[in-house]
Structure 1
């Protein structure tokens, strides 16, 4: 995400999450832009076929034709509008008033109010098995109404600051641009932090606490490093209108609905009514799966038929089994992914789930896929006999491998599902880069050419203008309007990087955290390599590639010949290398909102730094509260009957720490040699599909679209599925089919008006409910729901033989 939410990191504020892999905070993906030679084929108008089905239900990156609803003629549009994809034209404002107030006293008040709970909730979510992230749409809605209220009650009075600077408490009516800026600020600060993962791991498993000042400055610095690295991809991915950034588009859609509602638009007013009805309904409902009636969180039909049959229970259970034909009525297991991700992405994800849960799991349990039958769906470590491995005994006080203990307890084993999670994780990382080279090289080449031409223009002009020469090669209306504002100079990003570099190199060189200083330099180097291609992938489909496990493996190789190595080092290294990409990606996404809403770029940049300065201390405070109150669940001393407070992401990090740091990759791959072939698979399959795509007739063999068979999505989905919470996947696929295929294709006007509004409302309702449950039942005295038929003490699913 909780950064997945991957993933520990900031959860895509609409969540990115697969149900349980919060250790890497999200996933990512890519699709190829349809070639010019194929542009005459409109899949919206063609018949049948898997390729048509999946491309109709969602937009294909860069393909203006596929972004259309059933066709209206665009022949009469001016060129500056035609350059913008239709899905963007239908959503964003195409007029601008540069004199609209943006940075106001009201903005600062509301930014602080909405950042604090979000930073706490998203951090809390990262220790749960499933959740939906703190909804940024709640911030959009609530801050807009609060802003209008402040505009009515605050006096129109000028205040002097230091006798020199003045500002007006209430400069006039509340503007939608102020709402957008509050939203962007909260999007930066009201999130979780990858930095909490390594700190938590060290305390939960090794009893080692990090000094609060070190922790907070470390968490600030890794985020701001990612913000600085955004400069590497910004000029290529931010201004080109073909990079639509789906979540930014959705947030803009909601902002525009609010603006129109202020103007008494009947449609917008109806949209707001739908939003609040859905929000309140989901808020009330979510009390049932989360607290009152957890039975509905996992509807295991096979368990109802045979509640005491072990085989039927395992096949049907969604909380510890395969989840076959299992449905859920818990929004945290579904989330607004079903309303955001293009349908072909959802098809690939569901195919990966079926392959992993309904084919590989039974093959491992009852077949010959795996010789190790223990811990099938666990993130833990085991001895050869299937007992929990005493990993803490593998370390000496000097942080070296205890060879005597290792000889006593024997090789470390992992469950079969964990093994193929690792295998496909390696494949996904390589596939993400190879897929970009194979399918995206033309678009990247075009972007690079435009960028070079831009710098040539700037050089010829003598760089005298502070206005947006960076937009010079893009003549669409959005970029033309952006020339009214000064762009953020490159040296701002460079200064931010220098500041973070000094902080982190000091922390690591003085031994206050868990990695050597030179490993930090290597993390930056890999960030330079991956930030542009992986941000390119996210800008197209909103599907984020989880890269944590690969980074931890790389760190294991780096330190395997060093005698003393701290187990939390891999997670710390992964947080740095991960945030170089994750935070760059989120910064650019929010800057795209600023681009769509015509906010001054310098103001957006400031708001992002301001949000994170407020958010990180709250992240740390939330982490401390969780470690102080939930430690028994997190370390396994007690079992949470809902399988929620499991600290699954931290357990996953710990498993990686033992494999890659304590034992080292050499011992790990000697135990599991097949894992290394994941890299080969990730490199080979995109090339094969690329060849099929190139030599088939207009990317089709029969009705198959090889450019949509995205291996990065498939491999990443295989790497992030965990069988202990397998409910939700079938429900998500059904929901996605309704929203992103049927409604998008056959009820497009209805979809355009209400899809993003409903997505925002449902995520907002979920998080409001979670906050209320925390306040009512956990903040003071803990209140436990009594056991009854719908909250059975032995099994809330009523799978009694599991």
Structure 2
């Protein structure tokens, strides 16, 4: 499985310029004109020493799409870190840390929606402001007021930023979980928590490298940050009537409650609805039909789902063109390449279980990978020669192939389509210093104290020291010097990859490359060592990216950078210990599903994430690429490098030759990255998703745009939240202290919930 990646939705307007850095995402240059005088008329500011022309010019430097969605005013007297902030941030971080960590072990799930946090924290914050007494509290070491002022938008933003930082699964979960599930090595709780803090805060310290490059330039709009910023204004009722706001609230709660109760059916009581394998209804005992139609371990052809966890609000966030590329990649991979491999046996397609992410021996049996390590955690050469090379399904092979293509394609794509913009940005940064941008937002933010560099340096030193101590005391199995190399390479990745994300909201996977580098540096080491390196060199820059995105939200909302930074640390302080508690909870109750000794009938507790990480750790860290690639089955993977370089060149040439044909929209990096996705456990969602995406992001966006603006993100947030709460309720009520199985009935057929039996059943 590739590293975490996603394509977030962007706010689209205008025409795509020819030299856009990541061509399909519109870029809004600062020269774009608008009716600045009208905006000035609606702007309530104290211009101070600024002349009207200077103020007008500072606003004009802000891209038009940002001017439409972000206030050009600021009130520095608004309260930020208050008693209400600590209460609500703790509540939402704790809830999200539980939901997100449970979701990490599941095959499909809805992420903990920040839209939900934004909406509900707004209502709860106002409720606390109306009901709490305005009383001073003196605890000796600190004094505060329970209710100092009306609930401010800055408090509201900081609560959400704390949740965004801490209410997610963290990086160290990969190491802690794989050690426990597959090697029965349970880390000491304090060591595990410190490992999680050290890895996640290494990503924070990486953010110091990129903030001057990526935060202040007004042309780097960070579409996902802009989207969340727009929702704050919606909640505050800016630009709409009170009746519309009340209707939005009713719609939100109606959808949330409906999805919450509905989710009990596909997730527990009526799992038949989670995968409607239409073809199996006509030939339920045909092996070929089962393979083609089943959404659990099959192709999922003409398979629909009524389970929101197989769809999620991605259909309401990702742009339509992105969803089309993703669906075309799914069709190419699962509906074209899979049957070719299955029915022809090409690339050893029939030698191993095709729709599996397990590792195999040459005879097709599961590989006893535990035998490849000595008690000291080293590679056992004798055992390897006895067992033979490590093999995987053909499906996983082309996932690695397209993983190689993805990484190179990203760099070639950005060079071909965005080199002029990149060069102009570099020239600007070479000539000017922080806050030298003279747009309105940077002028307002220059009044606040910036986070000093030594804060980031101190944080990095603490994390680096902690990791070195853990490497020598906690059996992390990697040479200490490879950790240093991983830190250096991870830091170097932040700016170029962050630039891609800042203009496109697309996150490029780097996991396969990092595994390959580690495999050549330290072959024959324990798989866990490879994963530690991967977390530092790859996952930490993802965390830096998310932190920078949240800091961009703080920039748009005129939050003190220091308050934003400390709020992010506060979220992790709360969230990481809860993450660890949930990891222990899930492993202790679902271990047989996670390690593969039993099969979850719904395919949800497959342990797909830890299993995929383990597979790559074994292949690249333990066996090593030198031994691995000696086998001819791995030979074609090298062509992925050439494809990654050649595909964007072809698209660029076609775009230059036929500029109206929109070849630039067929973004090779997104296509290759989508081809990496593993659908072997659940393939029932894409068809339903593309249908839903057509209505949400094409029909309503284009033809019912006013309705789309009012309800699209709201409904997506409500549906994801209802599902997340339902999964949590099911887990607590039926799968924690006492496991309560749903009785077998027609809609819960233990032999096959889809009614895809195959010919081997009675």
Q: Same fold (TM over 0.5)?
A: yes
**Residue in structure 1 matching 2:163, options 176, 186, 199:** 186
* Distance in 2 between residues matched to 1:783 and 1:792, nearest whole Å: 16
1:315 is aligned to 2:292: yes
SS of structure 2 residue aligned to 1:126: helix
1:762 is aligned to 2:719: yes
How big is the alpha-carbon RMSD for the aligned residues of Structure 1 and Structure 2?
Answer: 2.8
1:258–1:172 Cα change, 3 Å: same
* Distance in 1 between residues matched to 2:473 and 2:598, nearest whole Å: 37
1:748 is aligned to 2:737: no
Residue of structure 2 equivalent to 1:612: 572
SS of structure 1 residue aligned to 2:69: coil
Residue of structure 1 equivalent to 2:588: 628
* Distance in 2 between residues matched to 1:589 and 1:578, nearest whole Å: 17
SS of structure 2 residue aligned to 1:167: strand
* Distance in 2 between residues matched to 1:597 and 1:271, nearest whole Å: 23
**Residue in structure 1 matching 2:456, options 493, 514, 518:** 493
1:88 is aligned to 2:72: no
Q: Give 1:145-164 correspondences, 5 Å limit.
A: 145-162=123-140
Deviation at 1:663, TM superposition (A): 1.4
Q: Give 1:391-540 correspondences, 5 Å limit.
A: 391-455=369-433, 470-475=434-439, 477-510=440-473, 512-540=475-503
Contact 1:334 1:731 in 2 (8 A): yes
Deviation at 1:60, TM superposition (A): 2.3
Deviates more, 1:640-649 or 1:394-403: 394-403
Deviation at 1:35, TM superposition (A): 13
1:545–1:472 Cα change, 3 Å: same
Cα deviation code 1:528-553 (max 9, x no counterpart): 22111222222233332222232222
* Distance in 2 between residues matched to 1:489 and 1:582, nearest whole Å: 22
Contact 1:119 1:618 in 2 (8 A): yes
Cα deviation code 1:493-520 (max 9, x no counterpart): 2222222122212222456422111111
SS of structure 2 residue aligned to 1:506: helix
SS of structure 2 residue aligned to 1:757: helix
1:512–1:405 Cα change, 3 Å: closer
Deviation at 1:40, TM superposition (A): 13
Cα deviation code 1:636-691 (max 9, x no counterpart): 22111000111111111121122112211012112211112222221232233334
SS of structure 2 residue aligned to 1:99: coil
* Distance in 1 between residues matched to 2:442 and 2:276, nearest whole Å: 50
Deviates more, 1:611-620 or 1:260-269: 260-269
**Residue in structure 1 matching 2:657, options 682, 686, 696:** 696
Deviation at 1:204, TM superposition (A): 1.7
* Distance in 2 between residues matched to 1:172 and 1:263, nearest whole Å: 25
Unaligned runs of 5+ in 1: 1-20, 42-53, 456-469
Cα deviation code 1:37-78 (max 9, x no counterpart): 95899xxxxxxxxxxxx99xx85244799x99xxx9889665
* Distance in 2 between residues matched to 1:262 and 1:682, nearest whole Å: 46
Deviation at 1:592, TM superposition (A): 1.6
Deviation at 1:36, TM superposition (A): 10
Contact 1:111 1:611 in 2 (8 A): yes
Residue of structure 2 equivalent to 1:60: 26
* Distance in 1 between residues matched to 2:739 and 2:595, nearest whole Å: 20
Query: TM-score if structure 1 supplies the norm length?
Result: 0.87
1:89–1:59 Cα change, 3 Å: farther
Cα deviation code 1:95-152 (max 9, x no counterpart): 2211111110111111112211211221111111110112222222222222222223
1:716 is aligned to 2:673: yes
* Count of residue pairs brought into register by the alignment: 738
Contact 1:110 1:143 in 2 (8 A): yes
Contact 1:450 1:473 in 2 (8 A): no
**Residue in structure 2 matching 1:577, options 537, 545, 551:** 537
Contact 1:278 1:761 in 2 (8 A): yes
Deviation at 1:584, TM superposition (A): 0.6
**Residue in structure 1 matching 2:740, options 783, 786, 789:** 783
Contact 2:30 2:60 in 1 (8 A): no
* Distance in 1 between residues matched to 2:157 and 2:348, nearest whole Å: 55
Contact 1:686 1:711 in 2 (8 A): yes
SS of structure 1 residue aligned to 2:138: strand
Query: TM-score if structure 2 supplies the norm length?
Result: 0.91
* Distance in 1 between residues matched to 2:316 and 2:712, nearest whole Å: 6
1:375–1:281 Cα change, 3 Å: same
